[in-house]
Copies of this chain bind each other. A is one copy, B any other.
Amino acid sequence: MTGLKDIAAEAGVSVRTVSRVLTGSGYAKQATREKVQAAARRLGYRANRHARSLRTARSYEVAVAAWSTDELYMAKVAAFERTLRGSDYAVTMLFGQSAGSGSAGELMDELITRRPAGVALFTPPDRSTVDCARRLAQAGTPYVVFDSSDDVDAIRIDRQQGVYEAVLYLAATGRQRIAYLGTRKDTSRLQGYQRAMDQLGREPILLDYAHNHDGIRDLRLTGRRVAERFDRPDAVQAYSDEVAMGFLAGLHEAGLTVPDDLALVGFDDRLAASWAAPPLTTVAQPNEQVGQAAADMLLRKIANERRPPDGWSRVLPTRLVVRETT
């Protein structure tokens, strides 16, 4: 393993000078600078992160905490990691137990004692995001949250706008009775739908679905019921791809043809959306951009940049992926 000493010998200068050149801290004559850099390159020098961490008492790792291995999450993590690859920081992962026991608190304990330079996290299943953020702030650890609805520094997704645009698109393709299918509790998408309908000067059609059994069964039942309504909508914006696919199955069971009888738009753009029959038109999450933005924000926080006037959080736009259900 080549170290500063080797480079110093090679370049005929002192270790201190090499360090000064390589970290860019302090002055160095242009000639010296070039000599050192050449030597470092020649020897294939990579700084020893452990020595550096020991000396500076700073960690060069950022930790990602996740409570799910869902593709939508992991795509963001991957983009986050790739963005950080160029910097000095390595990405370490911690996975919470999605089920019960391993609470968010325990994972945060483990995480904080590792003293990472920064932390990126997803919303834990117990929704204690605000708690987590507070604890991190207390520990002085910069953090960023992926796509949270809570009041924390986060990279968010403009679901409202995404649905708004999808509904306008449905209208533009000539759909008359555009309905929304999804829970009332989470209003992010619903508001986009309502705004679009408002703008179109149409009455919102909110589809209810039963909550009797397991999700997919309810959705299929809902599909069949909707298909049989005398005032059946001719287009549906669904809460998610999962909801859309279950609903779609119900429509098929009732003998409806998609998109002829009814157009359908999902949300998320999961892999499975392209496996649907027909492949599902859907609002895609900007996974790549979320990952990049999160890395960017974390790096700035770590570098002690001051909070921007409009805060740290960012909201990123979705993208409509038109397939064959519209």
Chain A interfacial positions (CB closer than 8 Å to B): 1, 46, 48-51, 53-54, 57, 59, 61, 64, 66, 69-71, 74-75, 77-78, 81-82, 85, 90-95, 97, 110, 113-115, 216, 220, 242, 245-246, 249-250, 252-253, 270-272, 274-277, 279
Contacts of A113 in B (CB 8 A): 46
Shortest beta-carbon distance from A240 to chain B in Å: 10
* Contact pick for A91, options B59, B71, B93, CB 8 Å: B93
A113 to B250 alpha-carbon distance, docked (Å): 54
**Shortest CB distance A312–B (Å):** 24
Q: State the main secondary structure of chain A at its contact with B.
A: helix
A272 touches which one: B57, B59, B272 (CB < 8 A)? Answer: B272
Q: Count this chain's copies in the assembly.
A: 2
A309 vs B275: C-alpha distance when bound (angstroms): 44
A-B pairs with beta carbons under 8 Å apart, 17 shown: A49-B114, A50-B50, A50-B51, A50-B53, A51-B54, A69-B71, A69-B74, A74-B74, A77-B93, A81-B94, A216-B277, A216-B279, A220-B277, A242-B275, A245-B272, A249-B277, A252-B252
How far apart are A191's CB and chain B's nearest CB, in angstroms? 26
